[in-house]
Amino acid sequence: MKALSRSASLFLSAVATGCAAPVAAAPVAIASSDSPAASVATPETTGTRAPRPDNAMFLGSFPVETSTLLGADELLLRTRYVGAALGELEARQLLLRRNGGELLLRASSSYPSAEAAVSEQERTCSFLLDCDDQAVQALVAELRSKNRTSPSDVVDYVHGFVSTKGLSRPFDIASVVARSRTGDCTEHAVLTAALLRGVGIPGRVLVGVVVPVVDGRSLAFGHAWAEYHDGMRWQLADATKLEVAEPIVYVPLQALRNEGPGFAQGMFSGLQLVDVEGVVVSQF
Amino acid sequence: MIALGMFRAAALGLTLSALGCGGGQPGAAAPDSSASEPVAAPKEPFDLKKEMAVEAEGLTERAVKSPDGAWSSVILGLGEVTVEPADSDFLVTAPVGPNAMVTCRLYDEHVDTAATFSSFFQEVGEKLEYKQFAMAPVQLHAGFPSVGITALYLADVEGSKGIGKLHTAVYHGELRSVLCWLDNIGYAQTFARVTASFFEGLRVAGTESAATFVEVTKTSLGDELDVGFSITTVEPGENAKERIYSKTGSSFLPRSATDLIYEDTYVELRVDAKGKTLEGTWVKTRGPNEITMRLTLTREKDGKLTYAGEVSGKPLSGALVAPKGLYNPLEVTAMLKRKLAKGGAFSETVPEYHPGIDPTALVQVTYSRAKDAPPRQVTMRLGERDFLAEVDDEGLPQSAYSQLGQHKLSILRQRVSGKL
């Protein structure tokens, strides 16, 4: 537990930044001390345990207070939060009860679809999802020319296209991702949603929590992904393709509404409304 | 100035050609830090802990200066310390042990700190596999900040892997920047001592800073991890009634053991005698040379506030909706000073321009003090985020904290001189 909280303290939560390494699976930890003993953890001494998530794919990590294997399809997640706007949690009827600063959620390994209707924004190019930019349009043209315009085609394409998977980008717009081919979960999500719109499918970016099993332990991570609308409801389109054992439970917290030049304000104001401090997992 | 700094940092490749990046080999010979040849085959068992604990003994202080007397300093070292010109800069090299040398590049001006680190690790790292970055605390030398980053790396050595460590530090002095580095698995404390001696002793002749106010802050995560610093200055403008407010910030946000987000920001405001913004410039860069934002704000003759520039590579321009005007940091400070002098509770919401959050609109920020709060405690509310600040008699925050989920973000004043 000590190691967990120490690592956790070194990374910002999903609220503040993009993806970060998972708590329990990080092969090495960044130390703040300038003493050599504290600042060095060699690969030989720390090792890398398998299976572990691709550490480029997650937002911040959260402590999990109980280590219960995710054997069942449904889980109870208890999270602490600040603020009041619960966005997608309520829209998807994940919220069972709120009590002071705690939320009790019912989550399932099947993706929690939402019935919300498609807005005009979710079909249109924007500053963040700039499917009208030349670099993004070139990718759309490539998808069209290869007749790969289904949501799963787009997801597969983005997963392969983002060739440098790392955490050095905070939150790039789609055209920047199209040029840099670099990023973490947020860049995968942004490019996926932009390409979906580019090929005529309503798309948007979601931010929330995923709870996979890593090394036999339940872990909670912040994560970003895209959604597409299938004509009936919103469905998962996660181009990061998390390399973790299933089941993976997705808990959508917010759909990004502000896609303009001030989209960072949307992140700043919207996401932090559900400021996840911890997740408790138990069998349902 | 910012752009120049960035490209200066990007030109580090020439400087680094002499860097060995040799590293040691686990289970092999001791790491050979500065040699350009890979480490030789193992002769005796490699003791990593022992090699990491190696420090220099008997360091003595040497005076160094440029031939033209433009600058001088002192530096700890063993044996002969060399000073060589490098373009318009100087390279100062101090031996600290067998095959271990601290090299410092003294720039002839300021360079962007985060870009310099980013450029260094990018250019040196082409043949390295970084395994871990670690930050040293922000420290002040002669009143200005330095920060260090070390990188543990693996490199191919004779068909096997060698382990090495790059120690780096950047000093943002009053008039110039310095980048120092050492490639050795050991000598951590030695590197800190040697660079501190050089930074502390640096004197630049000729140019006097015109700043009438200087403030240095650092940003930390939790209680132990420094992730950035800022330097704010105020100096007279070309017009005697005007002043120039500028803030230079650099941050190195860890996202994983091997990923840091390197960002530099620069804000410059030209304000009139009343402190009102006449013109402003915001520049934000990421990594070695990527400009993510470059905006100017202008108060037109009719009083309208217009912005123009580029964000994420896209041109942006327009007018700000500002029925209640615009508060800059100088005006906020003056407002807080007035409110706190009166005592009691208060709550004031003011429009501010934070283009990093939204370049197209003003952000409403609420400053308040609760009736039963400590005398100098002010809460700043930006969106849904609260910062709890301790403010001095002049209305300047000495410290500010915000809770980000389970993490505490702190902005802590390191020193202040002069008056606003």
Angstrom distance (rounded) from CA A223 to CA A60: 8
Q: Are A166 and B260 within 8 A, CB to CB?
A: no
**In chain B, whose CA is at the least distance from the CA of A18?**
B255
Task: Taking residues A244-255, report their average pLDDT.
Answer: 78
pLDDT exceeding 90 applies to what percent of chain B?
Answer: 73
Beta strands in B287-345 (DSSP E): 290-299, 305-311, 314-319
Task: Taking residues A29-49, report their average pLDDT.
Answer: 26
Angstrom distance (rounded) from CA A134 to CA A26: 38
User: Which residue of A11, A127, A279 is the best one to mutate when testing the B interface, meaning the one whose CB has the most B CBs within 10 A?
Assistant: A11
- Which residues on chain B are in Cβ contact (under 8 Å) with A35? 188-189
Q: Which residue has the tokens 């403010």?
A: B391
**pLDDT band (50, 70, 90) for residue B84:** very high
> Shortest Cα distance from A213 to chain B (angstroms)?
20
Name the residue among B49, B311, B363 with its Cβ closest to that of A261. Answer: B311
Angstrom distance (rounded) from CA B148 to CA B285: 20
What is the pLDDT of chain A when averaged over all its residues?
71
Q: CB count, 10 Å around CB of B204?
A: 18
Q: List all residues 6 or more positions away from A72 whose beta carbon is below 8 Å from its beta carbon.
A: A283, A284
Angstrom distance (rounded) from CA A173 to CA A256: 13
**Per-residue pLDDT at B37 exceeds 80:** no
**A-B C-beta contacts closer than 8 Å:** 180
**Per-residue pLDDT at A2 exceeds 50:** no
Q: Which residue has the tokens 């720039």?
A: B107
User: Which residue of B384, B386, B388, B408 is the best one to mutate when testing the A interface, meaning the one whose CB has the most A CBs within 10 A?
Assistant: B384
Angstrom distance (rounded) from CA B89 to CA B40: 34
Task: Taking residues B281-296, report their average pLDDT.
Answer: 95
Task: Taking residues B324-330, report their average pLDDT.
Answer: 94
Q: Are A62 and B405 within 8 A, CB to CB?
A: yes
**Per-residue pLDDT at B271 exceeds 50:** yes
**pLDDT band (50, 70, 90) for residue B385:** confident
**Per-residue pLDDT at A62 exceeds 90:** no
Q: Give the closest residue to A271 by CA, choosing from A128, A119, A10, A85.
A: A85
Q: Give the closest residue to A239 by CA, choosing from A193, A200, A284, A181.
A: A193
- Which residues on chain A are in Cβ contact (under 8 Å) with B26? 42, 44
> Shortest Cα distance from A62 to chain B (angstroms)?
8
Q: Indicate if the alpha-carbon torsion angle B87, B90, B95, B101 is positive or negative.
A: negative
Tell me the one-letter amino acid at B418: G
- DSSP of A117-184: PPPSGGGS--SSS-TTSHHHHHHHHHHHHTT--SHHHHHHHHHHH--EE-S--S---HHHHHHH-EES
- Which residues on chain A are in Cβ contact (under 8 Å) with B385? 268-269, 272
**In chain B, whose CA is at the least distance from the CA of A172?**
B312
Q: Are B259 and A10 within 8 A, CB to CB?
A: no
pLDDT, tens digit (0-9, with 9 covering 90-100), for B328-353: 999 999 999 999 999 999 999 999 99
Rg value, chain B, Cα: 24
The pLDDT value given to residue A80: 62
pLDDT, tens digit (0-9, with 9 covering 90-100), for B98-116: 989 999 999 999 999 999 9
**Per-residue pLDDT at B365 exceeds 60:** yes
**pLDDT band (50, 70, 90) for residue A126:** very high
Q: Give the closest residue to B148 by CA, choosing from B158, B157, B161, B139.
A: B139
Residue B121 phi/psi, 5° resolution? -70, -30
Q: Are B358 and A13 within 8 A, CB to CB?
A: no
**Per-residue pLDDT at B153 exceeds 90:** yes
**Per-residue pLDDT at A235 exceeds 60:** yes
ipTM above 0.90, yes or no: no
**Per-residue pLDDT at A82 exceeds 80:** no
Name the residue among A44, A261, A275 with its Cβ closest to that of B359. Answer: A261
CA dihedral A193, A11, B136, B143 (to 10 degrees): 80
Query: B410 near B399, Cβ under 8 Å?
Result: yes
- Which residues on chain A are in Cβ contact (under 8 Å) with B316? 261
**In chain B, whose CA is at the least distance from the CA of A169?**
B261
Report if pTM > 0.90. no
Q: What share of chain A is helix, strand, coil (3-state, %, to 5)?
A: 25, 25, 50
**pLDDT band (50, 70, 90) for residue B11:** very low
The pLDDT value given to residue A199: 98
Among A248-262, B83-97, B122-136, B257-271, the least confident range:
A248-262
Q: Give the closest residue to A227 by CA, choosing from A207, A203, A198, A201.
A: A203
Q: Are A28 and B132 within 8 A, CB to CB?
A: yes
**Per-residue pLDDT at B212 exceeds 60:** yes
Structure tokens at B417: 């001189």
Query: A193 near A139, Cβ under 8 Å?
Result: no
**Per-residue pLDDT at B6 exceeds 70:** no
Task: Taking residues B372-398, report their average pLDDT.
Answer: 92
- Strand-pair partners of B167: B150, B182
The pLDDT value given to residue A27: 20
Segment holding B331, helix H or strand E: helix B329-342
More confident residue, B169 or B36: B169
More confident residue, B293 or A103: B293
The pLDDT value given to residue A262: 87
pLDDT, tens digit (0-9, with 9 covering 90-100), for A67-76: 444 445 566 6
CA distances from B272 to B238, B275, B299, B330 (A): 11, 5, 11, 11
Q: Are B136 and A14 within 8 A, CB to CB?
A: no
The helix/strand/coil state of B336 is helix
Structure tokens at A246: 């299933």
**pLDDT band (50, 70, 90) for residue A7:** very low
Name the residue among B257, B316, B356 with its Cβ closest to that of A29. Answer: B257
Rg value, chain A, Cα: 18
The pLDDT value given to residue B410: 94
pLDDT, tens digit (0-9, with 9 covering 90-100), for A161-218: 999 998 888 889 999 999 999 999 999 999 999 999 999 999 999 988 887 766 666 6
